[in-house]
Amino acid sequence: MSGALEEMSLVQFRLLVVVDGAGPLRMGDLAERVGVHPSTLSRTVDRLEAGEWIVRAPSAQSRREVIVGLSDKGRALVADVTRTRRRAIADVVRELSPEDREAVRLGMTLFAGAAGEPSAPDMLTLGL
């Protein structure tokens, strides 16, 4: 992640992660998901578009609406950071005892449920 933060702010990277997870979104929906005012989002999207991390296009339903999606460059960055973080977490978890690993698994399962994330069986059903 530190390499990514040399390229952009944490808030900008979070926006990339949200779009990666949700797919292309209307600007208003994206502002709501990241919890910022639409004018603040517009400035952030301007910067990300200038860096070729995202792409904007008019909505097929309404030319007044703008859809924000990831560029190949943005998608690659999110994938790279995700891979790196997963490896780092796996390295830490490997050092835990089996009992502690189970406690971490349970804690993360509870946390994901509270955050509204799909369960592992649901993700398999969804093909994720």
The identity of residue 13, as a single letter, is F
Tens of pLDDT, residue by residue over 89-120, are 899 999 999 999 999 989 988 988 888 776 66
Tens of pLDDT, residue by residue over 18-49, are 999 999 999 999 999 988 888 889 999 999 99
Domains of the chain as residue ranges with CATH: 2-76 (1.10.10.10), 96-126 (no CATH)
- Alpha-carbon distance of 111 to 70, in angstroms, equals 27
pLDDT at 98: 93
Give the helix, strand, coil percentages of the chain, each rounded to 5.
70, 10, 25
